Amino acid sequence: MTNPSLMKKAFSPASIGNACVGFDLLGHSIAGPGDRVGVRKIDEPTVRIRAIRGLDLQLPLEAERNTAGRALIALREALGLEFGFEIEIDKGIPLGSGMGGSAASCVAALVAANALLDAPLSREALYPFALDGEAAASGSRHGDNVGPMLLGGLVLTTAERMVRIEVPAAWHCTLVHPEQVLETRRAREALRGHYALGEFVAQSANLAQVLVGCMKGDEDLVRAGFADVLVEPRRAPLIPGFAQVKQAALDAGAFGASIAGAGPSVFAWFATRAEAEAAAAPMRAAFSRAGFDSQSLVSPVAGPRAEVL
């Protein structure tokens, strides 16, 4: 018999996927908003969602279709667990914000469930189940949101692994979330079609400079590379005000600015917290001139990881 009253709770921060020029590959966590998930063992060999509360109540309660549910189903099956899980989700990240809302529920659920295991797994070992969970929402196993939530900070994610990329602690991100909706489906459709080898080489050069610049703490190299020539030009027309918000960030001294995740939020990196904070008002003003209210937040690029509460 398992103890039905024992619930473990975990918090996962939000994150920015598709960070800089790392489409589907690079993301970083954000201090501040996040999802809280409670998980308890149940005797029934199943996974069920008891409640979803908070910012978004449109999420599926059916475990298989929910990122948290799908991740724990995958965990149970892989480990051959005899018991099941019951999940309660408190959403703190608005869906469709480009802040990894669906990924955070999934990661918080895994971290909480992991704490209930007799032999908890490493964060690396949880990664495949987080990819399974992410696929429930997006249809693809991309790790650029769940990876940063599991490890913290800036993380390179592939189908097989997560690699933490160290960045200077002083570097900060400003994220501005406009009150406009951009469906991920539309954002994905904008990327259909063919690509030229030249686009690939230019984008790769930029990604390489950002990665090496981060690891060397070389701001100039990050500035040189922080220019998405492949994905951003195809998606920016879907975000009214994007060009003006980006320019406001650059005028405020940003290394660069781009679309957070699949949008519509816009993020920019700065050398210091003070610069990042000073950029928020002009970035929001630019969205306002385009007709959209917005919220902003500032976080270290090396944000926190998900933790048991």
Residues near a copy of itself, by CB under 8 A? 22-26, 156, 158-161, 163, 165, 191, 194-197, 200-201, 203-205, 207-209, 211-212, 215, 221, 224, 230
CA 26 to CA 16: how far, in whole Å?
9
Tell the smallest beta-carbon distance from residue 107 to a copy of itself (Å).
Answer: 20
**Shortest Å distance, C-beta 25 to a copy of itself:** 6
Instruction: Tell me: is residue 7 an annotated ligand-binding position.
Output: no
d(CA 300, CA 94): 20
Q: Look at residue 87 and give its three-state secondary structure.
A: strand
The distance of closest approach from Cβ of residue 262 to a copy of itself in the complex, given in angstroms and rounded to an integer, is: 14
104 annotated to a ligand binding site: yes
Pick the closer one to a copy of itself by CB: 50 or 161: 161
> Between residues 119 and 197, which has the closer beta carbon with respect to a copy of itself?
197
Q: Taking the complex as a whole, how short is the minimal distance between the CB of residue 150 and a copy of itself, in angstroms?
A: 17
Q: What tokens were used for 48?
A: 């069920």
Question: For residues 63-76, b (16+ Cβ closer than 10 Å) or e, as one string?
Answer: beebbbbbbbbbbb
Q: Which is nearer to a copy of itself, 149 or 207 (CB)?
A: 207
CB neighbours of 145 closer than 8 A, spacing ≥ 6? 15, 17, 27, 100, 102, 103, 104, 134, 261
Is 54 known to sit in a ligand binding site? no
Residue in 138, 137, 144 with CA at minimum distance from that of residue 163:
144
Comparing CB distances to a copy of itself, the nearer of 181 and 215 is: 215
Query: Assign residue 78 a region: left if phi > 0, alpha if psi is -120 to 50, beta otherwise?
Result: alpha
Any binding-site annotation on 288?
A: no
Would the annotation count 162 as a binding residue?
no
Known binding residues for ATP are 94-104
